[in-house]
């Protein structure tokens, strides 16, 4: 018998797990989808379908469904155990392995789709949903390829759809505050940004040899989706390590980079960079480097000098010592070896006085520096080596008292999306914004294929001056 799990094995598992009778479908039907947006009144209800319902997908499902005007009507995942768990919370929802089947069969019964899959499936699932005129909430990073980000932005605009990228901290108190302070000129014109995370969503090892039996609950073909066919190997892909691998994730840049880039990028009203350089190991064709130092140069805006230098550091030990990162009470920066205990956690905790937060950003301007820890900590202004009281500056922004409750802050970004679908609000991270931010991230990822080489990006032509780099802007979709 083949090492690969047979269809009969999977059917047997589904029956035993209790998922087999829930309406899982094997092939797309020929039913046509409606082509017009359903009119939804502000006091109406939003019917949501969820693609990917474990890990971050479970959090997305929980926070979307906590909105009082949401009905969860469909759940989709390639793992039957994930589906079984999610359906216990939403017993009325139909369940599917294949998002294509779900969108075909339930086209007239879905208003919004939430995409919480590994990165390589973000665009294929989102674009199909938008083709069927569904509003879309898609996890970060928006896409796996630059070409996909631009395609998603265009389709959302052309169809007038409500969209939101899943960067929930975008709506948190401290990030809104930092944005307002920077735009209010608290440190003058910003000329440099440093941002860092010691997380390591990289893999310097070799591609594994051989293959393992596919778990009975997993549809490996559907997990691979549009990516190239590859044998299953336990511990390398599903459920948690795909971020490290070039075919499926976007490394630490695509994980924590999106969160930590977001506030400086938004506050400074940046577009995509002109040049990108990644100092890292040589590419191995399989996993991302475990350490990256990516330097971007951006065109200037109203909040920066003529240009802006942005340096991103990730991996164990980051960031290195730098004069811009020396804090009051510390003689050197980067002396402590930074670590993050949990790669899946947003929060690295509160640093001791004089030590850098384990994750965060530093704005460097003409009138001082602004430190923004990640996350749920107030920004701090530094002038000539000393902290400066900015309580009056904070009060001017009229945001009220700081909120330190993740349970109350977490759902805000999700509820904003639902309220926008109801016509009661506007999204602050729509695909128009998310596509630019993701493109910036992905350009740094591509630069990792050309270590220590400066790449020159032409945004209007959507291509590098270095022709050899352009092959990584898009990928071939496998038929599956």
**Range with the poorest average pLDDT among 34-48, 64-78, 340-354:** 340-354
**What pLDDT band is residue 31 in, cutting at 50, 70 and 90?**
very low
Upper half-sphere CA count for residue 135 (Cβ side, 13 Å): 25
**Range with the poorest average pLDDT among 86-95, 164-173, 269-278:** 164-173
- Read out DSSP for 298-361? EE--TTEEEEEEEEEEESTTPSPP-GGGPPTT-SSSS-S----S-TT-S---PPPTTS--SSEE
Residue 143 · residue 107 · CB < 8 Å: no
> What pLDDT digit, counting tens, does each position of 53-81 carry?
999 999 999 999 999 999 999 999 999 99
- The residue written with tokens 């944005």 in the block is 179
**What pLDDT band is residue 408 in, cutting at 50, 70 and 90?**
confident
Residue 342 has pLDDT above 80, yes or no: no
State residue 263's pLDDT score. 97
> What pLDDT digit, counting tens, does each position of 270-316 carry?
999 999 999 999 999 999 999 999 999 999 999 999 999 999 999 99
Other Cβ atoms within 10 Å of 415 Cβ, number: 19
**What pLDDT band is residue 171 in, cutting at 50, 70 and 90?**
confident
State residue 35's pLDDT score. 41
Other Cβ atoms within 10 Å of 116 Cβ, number: 26
- Which whole number is the average pLDDT over 167-172? 91
């Amino acid at each position: 018998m083949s090492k690969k799990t047979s269809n009969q094995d999977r059917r047997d598992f589904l029956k035993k797990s209790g998922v087999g009778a829930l309406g899982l479908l094997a092939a797309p039907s020929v039913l046509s989808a409606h082509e017009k947006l359903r009119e939804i009144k502000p006091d109406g209800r939003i019917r949501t379908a969820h693609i990917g319902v474990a890990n971050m997908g479970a959090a997305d499902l929980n926070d979307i469904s906590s909105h009082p005007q949401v009905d969860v009507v469909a759940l989709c995942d390639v793992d039957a155990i994930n589906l079984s768990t999610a359906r216990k919370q939403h017993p009325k929802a139909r369940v599917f392995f294949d998002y294509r089947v779900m969108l075909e069969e339930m086209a007239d019964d879905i208003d919004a789709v939430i995409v919480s899959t590994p990165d390589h499936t973000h665009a294929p699932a989102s674009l199909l949903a938008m083709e069927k005129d569904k509003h879309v909430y898609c996890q970060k990073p928006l896409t796996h390829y630059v070409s996909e980000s631009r395609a998603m932005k265009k389709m959302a605009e052309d169809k007038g759809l409500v969209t939101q990228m899943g960067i929930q901290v975008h709506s948190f108190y401290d990030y809104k505050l930092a944005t307002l302070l920077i735009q209010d000129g608290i440190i003058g014109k910003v000329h440099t940004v440093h941002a860092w995370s010691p997380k390591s969503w990289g893999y310097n090892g070799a591609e594994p040899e051989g293959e393992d039996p596919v778990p009975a609950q997993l549809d490996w073909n559907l997990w691979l989706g549009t990516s190239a066919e590859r044998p299953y190997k336990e511990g390398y892909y599903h459920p948690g390590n795909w971020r490290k691998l070039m075919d499926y994730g976007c490394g630490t840049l695509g994980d924590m980079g999106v969160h930590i880039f977001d506030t400086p990028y938004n506050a400074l009203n940046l577009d995509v960079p002109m040049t990108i350089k990644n100092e890292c190991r040589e590419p191995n064709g399989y996993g991302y480097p475990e350490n990256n130092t990516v330097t971007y140069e951006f065109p200037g805006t109203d909040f920066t000098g003529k240009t802006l230098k942005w340096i991103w550091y990730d991996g164990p030990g980051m960031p290195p010592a730098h004069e811009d990162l020396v804090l009051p009470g510390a003689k050197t920066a980067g002396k402590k070896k930074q670590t993050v205990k949990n790669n899946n956690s947003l929060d690295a905790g509160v640093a001791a006085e004089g030590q850098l937060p384990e994750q965060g950003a530093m704005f460097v301007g003409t009138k001082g520096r602004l430190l923004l820890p990640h996350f749920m900590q107030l920004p701090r202004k530094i002038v000539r080596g000393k902290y400066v009281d900015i309580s009056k500056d904070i009060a001017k922004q009229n945001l009220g008292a700081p909120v330190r409750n993740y349970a109350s802050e977490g759902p805000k970004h999700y509820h904003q999306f639902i309220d926008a679908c109801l016509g009661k609000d506007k999204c602050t991270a729509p695909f128009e914004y998310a596509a630019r931010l993701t493109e910036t991230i992905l350009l740094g990822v591509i630069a990792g294929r050309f270590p220590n080489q400066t790449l020159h990006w032409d945004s209007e032509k959507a291509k590098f001056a270095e022709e050899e780099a352009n092959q990584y802007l898009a990928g071939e979709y496998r038929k599956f």
